[in-house]
Amino acid sequence: MTKKLLKVVSRIAGSMFLVIVCLLAFVVLSSRISGGEPTILGYQVKAVLSGSMEPVFQTGSIVAIEIKEKQSSYKKGDVITFRMDGKSITHRIIDVEIQNGQAVYKTKGDNNDGPDHWTVTGQNVVGKYTGITIPYVGYALKYAGSKLGSALLLFIPGLLFMISAFYSISGAKKELEAAKMG
């Protein structure tokens, strides 16, 4: 009974690992091919690289960002991702002002002592945090984006499929031999 349970748990864990590796490969390779950020059904996945928004999300997590529409407007309290000096930053809006007929956002990381030293214009906003966070996966996503990580994402699924095929063939061979003997 314990061996059977262990075998089932092992197969489930192996399948989950394979699915995660394949998803990481898809996200990383699709972003490399398109030359932009990985986008799936209007959402982007971002790796959290600092603790500025703890405890909302931890360093090393991934967060889902809903990509903004052309005429999106955000309100105080929304958590947005925006581009600043070539980097993506995800912080909370603490104030909204209108300048020259355009909304301008004052932001702050929840874990930071003071507000950010800049204001964010609407064209710099990438999107709004959806409330979906997965801890620790950001570390894997960041590594997968490296040259070595990308190479491993191509190699590991192929190796796993080959191992799976080997086990399937050897299992079928054993069944066939048992059927011939019995």
Backbone angles phi, psi at 60, to 5 degrees: 95, -5
**50 catalytic residue (yes or no):** yes
Contact partners, residue 127, CB within 8 Å, separation at least 6: 43, 44, 65, 66, 67, 68, 72, 80, 81
Q: Round to whole Å and give the CA distance between 89 and 18.
A: 31
- 50, 164, 168, 170: the catalytic one is 50
- Residue found under tokens 């190699």: 155
Q: Round to whole Å and give the CA distance between 71 and 157.
A: 41
Q: List, by residue number, the catalytic residues.
A: 50
